[in-house]
Amino acid sequence: MRLGILKTGRPPKPAIERFGTYPDMFIGLLGADAYDWRTYAVDEGELPKSPTECDGYLITGSSAGVYEPLPWIGPAMDFLRAAKGRAALVGVCFGHQLMAQAFGGNVVKSPKGWGVGEHVYEVMHAEPWMDERPLRIRLPASHQDQVVEKPPGAQVVFASEFTPFAALAWPDARAISMQPHPEFDPAYAMSLIEHRRGDPYPDAQADAAIASYSGADDRERVAGWINRFLAHATS
Structural domain boundaries of the chain?
2-233
In 3D space, the residue among 5, 43, 18, 6 whose CA is nearest the CA of residue 192 turns out to be 18
Q: How confident is the model at residue 202, as a pLDDT?
A: 97
**Section 49-76 average pLDDT:** 98
CATH superfamily name and code, 2-233: Class I glutamine amidotransferase (GATase) domain (3.40.50.880)
Q: How confident is the model at residue 132, as a pLDDT?
A: 84
Residue 134 scores a pLDDT above 80? no
Residue 61 scores a pLDDT above 90? yes
